[in-house]
Amino acid sequence: MLESYYTVKPYGSGEIVINKSRFICHVKRVTTEKEAQAFIQSIKKDHWNATHNCSAYMIGEKDEVQKANDDGEPSGTAGIPMLEVLKKRTLKDTCVVVTRYFGGIKLGAGGLIRAYSSAVTEGLRATGIVERCRMAVMAAKVDYTWIGKLENELRTSSYLLKNIIYEEDVTFFVYVPVSETAVFTEWITNLTNGQLDLTTSEDTYLEKDASF
């Protein structure tokens, strides 16, 4: 699993108009090629009367799956430029479909490349990009006498408190970057004088808005 990576929010779209042609970019997060193809087909169904529905997607931790389709536009003027935008942003698990409604003015090869690239850029901006960071959820079980101090220290630290479970003892569940689990273990052990039971309850990803 990757320590962190960039992808898009679940779904969104953006639109630009160039020389009377409408370019609508539909964006979706996908994790399999089957999902990507299903999304592309759904857009084609919704925009069956469009001039073109060009697509591109990148899937996998190492971008194992990369596909681009010009859907009738001159070869290399739509799908590949769209894919290049995803690569430039280092986006993973992302599928984009640009629907074009022709406005009567031809753009030429260079104009098409710029138009489809710009449409994807606008679609990504409108949808939003996130960074997904791998986190270990550490469970720190302590006696009730430690509640006040430990909660205060956690809330003022760089670590994110997930929740607190009150049973016979109190368990604090804390999001910790996987690369910092050793540091966190030492910190919380020293803080409680070793009077705790510390385990890892799960391994997950947290998302935060990314700025480019």
C-alpha distances out from residue 135 to 2, 151, 163, 206, Å? 11, 19, 15, 7
8 A C-beta contact, residue 170 and residue 146 = yes
User: Fold for domain 4-127?
Assistant: Ribosomal Protein S5; domain 2 (3.30.230)
Report the sign of the C-alpha dihedral through residues 88, 89, 95, 97, in that order: negative
pLDDT (average), residues 134-163: 96
pLDDT tens string 100-122? 999 999 999 999 999 999 999 99
8 A C-beta contact, residue 132 and residue 7 = yes
Q: Alpha-carbon distance 112 to 118, whole Å?
A: 10
Q: Which residue has the tokens 């003015």?
A: 105
pLDDT tens string 13-39? 999 999 999 999 999 999 999 999 999
8 A C-beta contact, residue 139 and residue 173 = yes
* pLDDT tier for residue 198 given thresholds of 50, 70 and 90: very high
* pLDDT tier for residue 1 given thresholds of 50, 70 and 90: confident
User: Fold for domain 133-209?
Assistant: Alpha-Beta Plaits (3.30.70)
Q: CATH 3.30.70.240 in the chain, residues?
A: 133-209
pLDDT tens string 53-84? 999 999 999 999 999 999 999 999 999 999 99
8 A C-beta contact, residue 99 and residue 26 = yes
How do strand 197-209 and strand 129-142 relate by DSSP bridges?
antiparallel
Tokens of 131: 């960074």
Q: CATH 3.30.230.30 in the chain, residues?
A: 4-127
Q: Alpha-carbon distance 174 to 110, whole Å?
A: 51
pLDDT (average), residues 151-175: 96
Backbone phi, psi, residue 45, to 5°: -70, -45
CA dihedral in degrees (31, 37, 41, 47; nearest 10)? 70
Report the percentage of the chain scoring pLDDT > 90.
97
The average confidence (pLDDT) of the chain is: 96
Would you say residue 177 has pLDDT above 80?
A: yes
Would you say residue 212 has pLDDT above 70?
A: no
Spatial strand order in the sheet of 65-69: 11-18, 21-29, 94-101, 52-59, 65-69
pTM of the model: 0.88
